[in-house]
Chain A
């Protein structure tokens, strides 16, 4: 798989994870989509930790994209 495609995928995944993080922070457990880990009918608990984890993995995806779209100085050397 070429680097540009990998970087594009990482950006898409990163954006999706940031959106997921916001959903975790904004919605209580009862209002999360049922396929989300932590969904619990009737619970008003906010899964802050789930949101932080999704946010940080999203940032890591952006970092991966950042490296994959950088100049190839040392690889070419």
Chain B
């Protein structure tokens, strides 16, 4: 069996946390097997198939966690299409279209660059170096962030009022950096959110909403691989991994939404810089 049940559970637990914490899930999934000496490689088809299951689980948890918000957002999108305008006081419609605008560059860059970047930078050594760079990116976002204006008591209204169409496109495009193992999707979009003037809490909320359709679509499109020949021998561990990923993703998103009410990205920046540097040095000398 290419991945054991124990390895599947460990990788699932790790993926659920690291997908939502701004610390790069892909980077950790590449670095951990090499660190503990598992014979799992990021480019192996069965490993990619395994990741589909854990990503799908994470995306479903995100969708469930923000379900009421998504229902309001989808209704807002429908309302704006019916009325052929985005009313200035319709925060749900504006937020919905901001998410559409943010998803377009992330989707295009993902489709066109994913395979090339992963083939170029898919090794644990590169992932360790880029994890350290991710720490610098988070630190830079904290350093350069704008003071968030308090414009409304409602989260979505604040986001809709603060983020412009251009900002949404830039934050969405920033997610594409996560195609390089070691850089974090949520870290890039949270950092982008801080730079355009969102608070930590709103930046995290916008990042999670923005991540849901992309992760879900990428996982659903790859699901046939899990059901087909590539899934042989991986389905059991993938199911265990998916359940573990769902569990930790739920606690991670719950924790982070509270954490970012008062705290910053700095602890994650320090962790990424330290862990990335330590792993890079270890790989270089071992």
Contacts and interface: CB of A to CB of B under 8 A. Distances in A.
A72 B111 CA distance: 36
B108 interface: yes
Nearest to A77: B88
Contacts, number: 40
Contact of B84 (A52, A60, A70): A70
- State the main secondary structure of chain B at its contact with A: helix
A48 B221 contact: yes
Nearest to A37: B112
* Chain A interface category by residue count: 20 to 34
Contacts of B112: 37-38, 50
Interface residues of B, number: 16
Interface string A39-73: 00000000011101100110010010011011111
Interface in B62-114: 80-81, 83-88, 100, 104, 107-108, 111-112
B85 A53 contact: no
Interface in B99-149: 100, 104, 107-108, 111-112
B85 A52 contact: no
B87 A74 contact: yes
A48 B225 CA distance: 13
A50 B109 CA distance: 10
B111 A60 contact: no
A66 to B, nearest CB: 6
Nearest to B108: A53
Nearest to B85: A70
Contacts of A38: 112
Given A66-B81, A67-B84, A71-B84, A52 B221 contact: yes
A60 B85 contact: no
Contacts of B87: 74
A74 B108 contact: no
A73 B90 CA distance: 14
A48 B83 CA distance: 33
A56 B104 CA distance: 8
Contacts of A66: 81, 84
B108 A67 contact: no
B84 A57 contact: no
Q: Which of A49, A50, A72 has the most CB of B within 10 A?
A: A49
A60 B100 contact: yes
Contacts of A50: 111-112
Nearest to A24: B111
A72 B86 CA distance: 11
B105 to A, nearest CB: 10
A49 B221 CA distance: 8
Interface of A: 37-38, 48-50, 52-53, 56-57, 60, 63, 66-67, 69-75
7 contacts: A50-B112, A63-B81, A66-B81, A66-B84, A71-B84, A71-B85, A74-B88
Given A37-B111, A70-B83, A70-B84, 16 more contacts: A37-B112, A38-B112, A50-B112, A52-B221, A53-B107, A56-B104, A56-B107, A57-B104, A60-B100, A60-B104, A67-B80, A69-B84, A70-B85, A71-B84, A72-B85, A74-B87
